[in-house]
Amino acid sequence: MISPEDIKKTALRWYDTFLSASIDGIAFFPKDVRFGKTRSSSEVLHDFIKIHKQIDSLRHGSKEVLGFGYSIEFEKIKNRNVGEQSFPYRIYFETPEDYLKFVRKEQEYSRFREATKIILSEFPVLKGWLLKHPAKVIENFDKWVDLLKVCHYFVEHPKPGIYVREIPLDISTKFIEENESIIRLLLDVLIENDANKDESTFEKRFNLKYREELIRVRILDDELAQKYFYGFSDFSIPQCLFLSRNIPCKKVFVLENHINFSNILNYLTLPNLKQSIAIFGKGFQIGLLKDALWLSNRDIIYWGDIDCHGFQILSQIRGYFPQTRSCMMDFQTFNDFHELATNGVDTTVIHLNHLTEEEHRLFSHLLSLKVKNRLEQEKIPHSYALRKIEKLFKG
């Protein structure tokens, strides 16, 4: 036999569907509660007292007693052992008012109706979204005035081209940042044709300026530094500027910085080399360089740690720029300084598409080692590194 508590659990599961129906103007009530009916004579006889206690509990929680909630229709069933008895045949909510008072959602539903009325009056196109996400209306009850201000701004300026905190609205400067998830759902509908659906970050998706990654560059040729950079030889610039600048050099050294800044001295102590620059990399963020088309006709030299991740990054950058050569990422260097090797991080990658045959043999060898399978850049003596770099520079 179903209990009043079970009915309430069932009724609450209807709530979102009921909200959607109310938006769509579809009658949701009367609505029946499904339950197991007591029909078996043996069941009635065996649990006679228990069943009647359950029926009494059900009746006391019903509209008949409380004046709201579920209604019960009974049917009489004759039993040869206990005589004629009345059992629930139908349990149902007759009206929305009965239902809402029973689940204690009267005030919330009233606010929901008011909010959806305002939303649809300003943006009828959001009806389909509201039907799918009625709970989002409730979750953001206290924010809809400001949310709609934001929506209006983006509809009128679908490509703002400014930072999010520059948007000229009388709201908290952090409001959009703090409510990105709901605003994103709304804007995906409202400015669908102007949104960059392939972009996951809010700013890129909705044509806003964003804080770009900085790329650190060192000019290794004093003449280049004086002629094109006012003598500055070590600086960081936003990614967009780096991508658009055709730096007049022939060689580009890329040094890895996968986990921390421990490799910074290698970057800072690179020798002066004619028509050359160096880039302080960011490990797997090497993808920041991929759209720098001007790098396609430069001699790129990558120097990373001799470990599994170092070779993954080498394969990645060579996928962008096939002419990339590796520096000190060979068996000779690994064997010469193997006593300085440490334990590397495990990886599930076993094949890399953009390594030379020798590089891949070394990569596979590192995978086979359980210990001492990582030789970091900074462990290699500076004099040795200089010799190797100068050899590559001349090659």
What's phi and psi for 154, nearest 5 deg? -70, -30
Nearest-angstrom CA–CA distance, 285 and 313: 9
Q: Which pLDDT belongs to residue 393?
A: 76
Q: Which pLDDT belongs to residue 50?
A: 75
Q: Which pLDDT belongs to residue 38?
A: 59
| Amino acid making up residue 311 | F
Angle value at C-alpha 61, between 58 and 66, nearest 5 degrees: 145
CB 41 within 8 A of CB 109: no
340-368: average pLDDT: 93
CB 151 within 8 A of CB 123: yes
Instruction: Report the sign of the C-alpha dihedral through residues 55, 60, 65, 70, in that order.
Output: negative
17-24: average pLDDT: 95
Residue 40 has pLDDT above 90, yes or no: no
Mean residue pLDDT across the chain: 90
Q: Which pLDDT belongs to residue 260?
A: 43
Nearest-angstrom CA–CA distance, 364 and 351: 8
Per the omega criterion (within 30 degrees of 0), is the bond before 271 cis?
A: no
Nearest-angstrom CA–CA distance, 41 and 36: 15
Cβ neighbours of 146 (radius 10 Å): 18
Residue 92 has pLDDT above 70, yes or no: yes
Residue 372 has pLDDT above 90, yes or no: yes
Residues 6+ apart with CB under 8 A from 64: 71, 72
In which element (H, E) is residue 228 found? helix 222-229
**What domains are defined for the chain?**
4-102 (no CATH), 106-205 (no CATH), 214-394 (3.40.1360)
Residue 338 has pLDDT above 90, yes or no: yes
Residue 5 has pLDDT above 90, yes or no: yes
Q: Which pLDDT belongs to residue 54?
A: 83
pTM of this prediction? 0.67
**Tell me: the pLDDT tens digits for 178-237?**
999 999 999 999 999 999 999 999 999 999 988 888 899 999 999 999 999 999 999 999
Residue 132 has pLDDT above 70, yes or no: yes
Per-residue DSSP letter, 371? S
Residue 394 has pLDDT above 50, yes or no: yes
**Tell me: the pLDDT tens digits for 169-194?**
999 989 999 999 999 999 999 999 99
Residue 275 has pLDDT above 50, yes or no: yes
Query: For the CA atoms of the chain, what is the radius of gyration?
Result: 35
Nearest-angstrom CA–CA distance, 361 and 317: 19
Instruction: Report the sign of the C-alpha dihedral through residues 10, 12, 16, 19, in that order.
Output: positive
Q: Which of 147, 192, 136 is nearest to 20 (CA)?
A: 136
Q: Which pLDDT belongs to residue 261?
A: 45
CB 291 within 8 A of CB 244: no
262's tokens: 């421990």
pLDDT band at 1 (very low <50, low <70, confident <90, very high): confident
